[in-house]
Structure 1
């Protein structure tokens, strides 16, 4: 296969992969952030301490993280078909990608929030700050560098998941690698697909690291 034949396929595959990863990252942030914060707030000694809620959330997150993505994707085919109307294509792949990423990111959020200095939160509560005021004004701003690093890790994991989604018709670079690189023995196409994925992952990591450095530099300047 010549480069002229590969190029449009790689371009469309890259667009589909970025589409899947972008939307699933959005939903992971939307769902994982509040779950991670609630895991901290509802823990023993937390301002919203509730053993039942904390245990239920913990079990849900653990189950979501324990399932291999390819197994989860196949198991969610009926649900995906119900929600989207089809279980094939990039849009359909967003459903299992998001469901798989939410518990993954939630644990990273929990870890980041727990690292915040307890003295700061206690001082904020002593000054009359409500729970959600403390969360929005103290916990999340102080944990921001770790949250950005965690989000970067989540995006990179989603890129890998999106490639696996190609095994069951998810589209993107994974489908191209399977269809052309594996089934048609196009070694050059497989290499090109791998290189594109490496470039995407490297770019995401560099951008994430840059964002973390900028946030920390701003915090030092403000302090």
Structure 2
């Protein structure tokens, strides 16, 4: 009987011990699982945070790259604009120089032409004055208003004619007709009036109405 009671107590204690051990194991397992879950959550959070940082870094890098590209493109555009502006200024300056050169050339031509025209006008005016004076002398001589002047002019013409006769070596007859506007009378040769042309040539009008040059 004692053995039976003892066996029963041992069985009850054993069940109680095993039950307590099972409860402890369950609690330990729950704690372990909870701890593992916390670790896992932390790891997932860390992974998520790392991923977010990586994505942010990638986005920042892409943004920096885009900004650098835009800055480079802007610098290139500014450079091209500056070069284009400089080229336009250069072309404008070159065109201005060419225009000024052409204008200067035109002015030079105009000045030369004006000088020639003035020279011709002076020569023409001089001839006109000389012819007018000669015509006036002849007119006065014809009218008898200035016989003294005419005689003096004739004397001078004869004197010049004598000089020409002394200096003259030979004469050259040409087919040139006498000019419509008579040249200046500067002497006399063999009873004919000697004229001096605009280039200094001395001649008289022969019986054919042509010029005969006196070559000294």
Larger Rg: 2
Which bin holds the TM-score, normalised by the shorter protein?
under 0.3
**Bigger share in helix:** 1
**Bigger share in strand:** 2
- Ranked by relative contact order (alpha carbons within 8 Å, sequence separation 6 or more), the top structure is 1
